Amino acid sequence: MPISKGRFATFMRFWFALAAITLVTGCASTLSARVTSFQKWPADSQGATYAIVTAAGQENNLEFQSIADMVRANIGPIGLVEAPSASASRFAVHIQYDNPTSRTYVQRYADPYLYDGWGFGPAFGWYGGYRSWGGAIYFPPPVATVPVVVYKNTLTVVIDDKSQGGKEVYRSSAINVSTDDNLLQAMPYLARAVFDGFPGNNGQVREVEYERGR
Q: Is the pTM of this model over 0.75?
A: no
What is the 3-class SS of the chain, one letter each residue?
A: CCCCHHHHHHHHHHHHHHHHHHHHHHHHCEEEEEEEEEECCCCCCCCCEEEEECCCCCCCCHHHHHHHHHHHHHHHHHCCEECCCHHHCCEEEEEEEECCEEEEEEEEECCCCCCCCEEECCCCCEECCEEEECCEEECCCCEEEEEEEEEEEEEEEEEEEHHHCCEEEEEEEEEEEECCCCHHHHHHHHHHHCCCCCCCCCCEEEEEEEECCC
Domains and CATH numbers, the chain: 5-211 (3.30.160.670)
Higher pLDDT, 180 or 35: 35
pLDDT at 24 (0 to 100) = 37
pLDDT at 146 (0 to 100) = 79
Percentage above 70 pLDDT, the chain: 71
pLDDT at 105 (0 to 100) = 72
pLDDT in tens, 46-68: 999 999 999 999 999 999 999 99
- Over residues 85-101, the mean pLDDT reads 95
pLDDT in tens, 69-84: 999 999 999 999 999 9
